[in-house]
Amino acid sequence: MTRFEVKTTARNQFVEITAQVRDAVTASGVRSGLCVVYCPHTTAAITANENADPDVVHDMLLYLNRAVPKDQAGFRHGEGNSDSHIKASLVGPSVTLIVDAGDVVLGRWQGVYFCEFDGPRTRTVMVRVVG
């Protein structure tokens, strides 16, 4: 398993981690199998989505912040980050990718993103490749 850190600079932020995931697959030596990219934090997530147009990330964050505002009336969690927990659950803690010919299979415009919902922080991402 490979672990790496992601340092975020904003409360809500998507950080592209495609290169680090590809490096982990290469280091594993696996030519054909599955790659799981996992985030062990309750206020962060992992997703695969478009990486060609930065407006997509902007729009995703805009939607999530409107759908789950930080100061929603009725939230009871004492740390004041209930919205972060909800966003992380909606997006999910991991993605599973196909490995073929020693590389992850992504669509033409796809990339892998670490999704921060309670930053800025230093976070851990884990990558497990199985052949």
Tens-digit pLDDT string for the chain (131 aa): 999 999 999 999 999 999 999 999 999 999 999 999 999 999 999 999 999 999 999 999 999 999 999 988 899 998 989 999 999 999 999 999 999 999 999 999 999 999 999 999 999 999 999 99
pTM: 0.96
> Which amino acid is residue 81, in one-letter code?
N
What is the C-alpha end-to-end distance of the chain, expressed in Å? 13
Strand partners, 5: 124
Question: Residue 43: its pLDDT value, please?
Answer: 98
* CATH superfamily of the 2-130 domain: YjbQ-like (2.60.120.460)
Cα 101 from chain centroid (whole Å): 24
